[in-house]
Amino acid sequence: MDAFSSFFGSQSSSRNRWSYDSLKNLGQISPAVQTHLKQVYLSLCCALFASAAGAYLHLLWNIGGLLTTFACMGSMIWLLSTPPHQEQKRVGLLMMAALFEGASIGPMIDLAIQIDPSILVSAFGGTALAFGCFSAAAILAKRREYLYLGGLLSSGLSILLWLHFASAIFGGSAAIFKFELYFGLLVFVGFTVVDTQEIIEKAYHGDLDYVKHALLLFTDFIAVFVRILTIMAVACQEM
């Protein structure tokens, strides 16, 4: 927890040092990397639209479930195994994976709408705000400043997986469920920062695979969105 405290403390101190000029100044990032980031975030936005379409299809025809989850995983594996020069095919696979992912979380979205439709808008807005702020923090920070958190976050993810596994076998309490939600949200927000800086660092070393990088940020966004949506839905039911 000390590492997380120092992380957010450094975020606050960095935010105090920023000015309007520093927000406009991306001089620390080369033009080639800036162009790459534009491609990554444009692809991410398209993937989010495809995911929204998948969720809408579930609301219409109830297609979301285990099959769409496997189809999403298969599309991601297919994308990652496709050579980078087959750009159009890989972009299509990214959109396909996003569509299936949207359908897979469709039942959760449907439940949230039944509880209170405003939850969905608030959860998406909160996710977009958090994702945008932490991505900007990673872009404007010094190179490699937050990469050291990768190992810590991976350990946190392992804890979450073991907790989920244990809860599925032995049963879990409401306290453990809430801990998984909030700790998972913290972990995946941290991954947003680390993954953004890792994308920038890879781009400096010649890895300009914007489709793969957009897929990485897409999975971070969905992970944060699902947890924020669940937290808001639980809070609404408890009121």
Burial state string for 128-144 with b = 16 or more CB within 10 A and e = fewer than 16 = eebbeebbebbbbbeee
Backbone angles phi, psi at 24, to 5 degrees: -80, -20
Q: Quick one: which of 213, 208, 224 has its CA closest to 33?
A: 208
Question: What's the pLDDT score for residue 90?
Answer: 98
Q: What is the pLDDT of residues 182-238, one digit of tens each?
A: 999 999 999 999 999 999 999 999 999 999 999 999 999 999 999 999 999 999 988
User: Are residues 102 and 50 in contact, defined by beta-carbon separation less than 8 angstroms?
Assistant: yes
Task: Write the CB contacts of 184 (distance below 8 Å, at least 6 apart in sequence).
Answer: 160, 223, 227
| CA angle (88 as vertex; 90, 74 as ends), nearest 5 | 25
Alpha-carbon 51 to chain mean position:
13
Q: What is the pLDDT of residues 106-152, one digit of tens each?
A: 999 999 999 999 999 999 999 999 999 999 999 988 878 888 888 88
Q: What gap in Å lies between CA 104 and CA 69, rounded to an integer?
A: 6
Task: Write the CB contacts of 4 (distance below 8 Å, at least 6 apart in sequence).
Answer: 152, 186, 190
Task: Write the CB contacts of 189 (distance below 8 Å, at least 6 apart in sequence).
Answer: 130, 134, 224
Q: What gap in Å lies between CA 152 and CA 58, rounded to an integer?
A: 36
pTM: 0.87
What percent of the chain clears pLDDT 90, i.e. is strictly above it? 71
